Amino acid sequence: MKTWAIKFAAFLAAFVFFASFPAGASTNAVNVDAGADLRIRQELMDNIPGNPGDIYSVSTAKRGKNKNQLRIRPRVWFEVGNGPFRLYTRITDEFREFFVENGQRRKERSYTFPDEVFLDNLFVEGRGLDAGWLESAGVESLDFRFGRQDMLERGRSIFGLDRLVDDGTPLVGSRSFFSDMVRAKLHFSDTRTLDVFALYDNGRNDIRWGNRQSDGRPLNPINMSDSADLDEWGGGLVFSDALFGGGVPFKAYSIFKRSEAYTTRKPVERRMPAKEVTTLGVLVEPRFNDAWGMELDGAKQFGRLLSGNRQAGGYMGHVGLNYFPSIGKEWKPKVTLASTYYSGDKHRTGEDDNDTAWDPVWGRFTQDSEMLVYGALYGNCWWSNMIYTKLKLTMDFGPRHGMYVYTGPMHTAVQDNLGHADGSGRSMFKGWLSAARYDFPIRLAPKGASGLDRCEVFSHIVAESFQPGDYFDSGKPAYFFRWQIDFRF
């Protein structure tokens, strides 16, 4: 039997144990619960492009190799609640099976079971708390959460800022999305709130148990070859309200991030300076009627590189027009025409220049593409110097049942002199990106289910294609495909 099949059977047995734990067991007003989930996904990709003139990009030879990997991620969680308060913890591992790499099985695997088990979540929270000491400021109630927690909830940013706050540990985004954070939400009314948060992301996960293969495994590097010494910290304010009777929801935000100095290891060792960036912006989502709406997001960054006290910070703009056709009660379609702009820096390879490129803050997530984060950006999930315009169709059919498909051209915002391996390329056309995804349930638990009856199974498939433009030195079409199945207990 294949080794990964044995591992799967072992974890399935453990999950059945946790699934049998009675949901919401109560002792003297203290609610205790536990459970687990198991995710299995296989990913295949080939001809992944990269910024060819960037010395920190993955080599052309390595990007061109066919990749076929199976990822298995078990998680176990436990929580204790008492009234409005809750203590939650979760541990996680993800091991992988590499079937083929450039036609041959990979001999060295860096993610073998059980190479690492780490503390994925551990937080205390309170919801709907009396804010008597803040009543004079108009606060009606208060929520808070303190500890290690996810930046993503139900696939969206915890603050609704998908382009700015998504993932604290982007290199291991398939395994975890945590940050060590304290945050509070002040409720002034049903629509008016203020989120206040501060966070710290360590480049290394010290609360872990593993072997020497996983020792020092980096969590949040900008480039794949970075060392594990990148630390980031910061915080911000996000004010939310709705104007004109709720028809124009908006968020005004101010977010500060400091990235400490770190060292790149390959292809050359280089000390990167510390960087501070403050992002000021507004997100507006007006809904004109039942059929039409928009999304407008704009931000300006102010900051500095602490080496030489050079300036840093760019611009971001997003505009989307949404159409909601009415075709029935069960189906909820949406058609979107959108364009996203991230400023670039034509001198970004210079060591003594200012940095005018957009800094994605903690928005280092897959966003528009699962595939391009493997090579065609300026670092791991480093969305910058880009204009992407797409036409997208989204359709919801019911709980955990939906699909989307989109397509559009991608350009650089400025000529960065990285096109082609020798830097001779002058084109700003990166290529044409298309993607489709289908989510579907296999089993959904009945409302109020407990024990084994609360077991849920759902799945999805996603496919992407990228036709490189004249910016790249290779015109070979790239592809990405993934199937996934989730078991939740």
- pLDDT tens digit sequence for 197-212: 999 998 877 777 877 6
pLDDT attached to residue 57 = 57
Report how far Cα 228 is from the mean position of its chain's Cα atoms. 19
Q: Is the Cβ–Cβ distance between 183 and 196 less than 8 Å?
A: yes
- 98 Cβ contact partners less than 8 Å away, ≥ 6 residues apart: 68, 69, 105, 106, 109
| Rg, the chain, Cα only | 23
pLDDT attached to residue 110 = 60
Give the separation between CA 480 and CA 464, rounded to whole angstroms. Answer: 5
pLDDT attached to residue 109 = 55
Burial label for 454, CB within 10 Å (0-12, 13-18, 19+), is: middle
What are the domain boundaries of the chain?
3-488
Q: Is the Cβ–Cβ distance between 109 and 64 less than 8 Å?
A: no
Written as six digits, the tokens of 329 are 């009660």
pLDDT attached to residue 380 = 84
Closest CA to 238 of 362, 339, 382, 147: 362
DSSP 8-state code for residue 383: -
Closest CA to 61 of 371, 375, 381: 375
Written as six digits, the tokens of 452 are 């084994």
pLDDT attached to residue 67 = 82
Q: What is the pTM of this model?
A: 0.88
Give the separation between CA 360 and CA 358, rounded to whole angstroms. Answer: 6
Give the separation between CA 58 and CA 136, rounded to whole angstroms. Answer: 56
Burial label for 26, CB within 10 Å (0-12, 13-18, 19+), is: exposed
Query: For tokens 């996680």, what's the residue?
Result: 92
Q: Is the Cβ–Cβ distance between 283 and 161 less than 8 Å?
A: yes
- Count CB atoms within 10 A of the CB of residue 94: 20
Closest CA to 259 of 303, 309, 317: 303
Give the separation between CA 318 and CA 384, rounded to whole angstroms. Answer: 13
Q: Angle at the Cα of 323 (from 318 to 327), degrees rounded to 5? A: 150
Q: Is the Cβ–Cβ distance between 371 and 478 less than 8 Å?
A: yes
Report how far Cα 250 is from the mean position of its chain's Cα atoms. 22
pLDDT attached to residue 21 = 46
* Side-chain-side CA neighbours of residue 424 (13 Å): 3
Q: 159 - beta bridge partners?
A: none
DSSP string, 29-80: TEEEEEEEEEEEEEEEEE-----TT-TTSPPHHHHTS-EEEEEEEEEEEEEE
pLDDT attached to residue 225 = 67
Name the fold adopted by 3-488: Porin (2.40.160)
DSSP 8-state code for residue 425: B
Written as six digits, the tokens of 465 are 């294609």
Residue ranges of the chain with pLDDT lower than 50? 1-23, 60, 102-104, 107-108
Give the separation between CA 196 and CA 43, rounded to whole angstroms. Answer: 37
Give the separation between CA 37 and CA 91, rounded to whole angstroms. Answer: 11
Q: Is the dihedral of CA 61, 64, 66, 70 positive or negative?
A: positive
The overall average pLDDT reported for the chain is: 85
Give the separation between CA 198 and CA 195, rounded to whole angstroms. Answer: 10
pLDDT attached to residue 63 = 53
Q: Is the Cβ–Cβ distance between 403 and 436 less than 8 Å?
A: yes
- Tell me: cis bond preceding 114? Omega within 30 of 0 counts: yes
Q: Is the Cβ–Cβ distance between 433 and 407 less than 8 Å?
A: yes
